[in-house]
Structure 1
Amino acid sequence: MKFQRQAKILDLIDQFEIETQEELSEHLRDLGYTTTQATVSRDIKELRLIKILSSTTGKYRYAVATSEVENSFTNRLRNIFKECVTEISYAQNMVVIKTLPGLGQAAAMAIDAMRDKRVIGTLGGDDTVFIVMRDESVASQFCSEAQKTLL
């Protein structure tokens, strides 16, 4: 549940200009997540979210710290992968990731949040993530990096 909630938080701050923890909690509640302010605060800390000045409204909003990306697999993605991925394989430019039941969408959202230029798109199901990559060589590279994450 934690990883799904955190993946949803990343999705929400990408879609909306969220200024406060209370506002983030409201969005989560609207999606069926019952969380306390303390839980949201911990999630923000674990995801290493920062507040940046919005270019459209002039107010501060939550965003992912760009300095956090040390390579193509961030710490949060490593955690999600370690907890839920059971198998990774590729064929040509397509990658298929098998997860524990109910965690496919969380893994897909984590991959989307990476904003990796090699990824064209993801599709997350209950226990499977389908990823279209730019070409076969980057699919192979992505799988190698992901498999190292699981070790």
Structure 2
Amino acid sequence: MIGTKESRQALIRELISNAVVPNQDVLQRLLGEAGYTVTQSSVSRDLADLGVVKEGGRYVLPAQGLAASLGIIDVAAAGPNLLVLKTATGAAPLAGVKLDALSLPAIAGTISGDDTIFVATPDAAAQNAILAKLGWQQ
């Protein structure tokens, strides 16, 4: 393996930003072409570290990720079992429907108002998984 973890992750960010990367196999091949010898588990860990999400059949970076696509403008934890997601006025109902449609196991349920979505999680680990999926740093 050449380079450092940081240089490999920088390349992953570049690849995901500039090309359609539909799965880990393709990403592993692209990294190999750039001189990195990586395992699928290393690729998986890198994607998790970077907060990369899969959207529309391709990987996207957090800034382009799920939170942005749902119109979420702020996220706050309200204890270990509740996330409060803020959207623009009128956007929460549709964002809540889209979030529910993902059928994420870390979500126990959602309630949407006009500009707020409450996301119930079974525990703090599930809450952290949702934050990572959204590409949101607390």
Q: TM-score of the superposition, structure 1-length normalised? A: 0.44
User: Quick check: which has more Rg, 1 or 2?
Assistant: 2
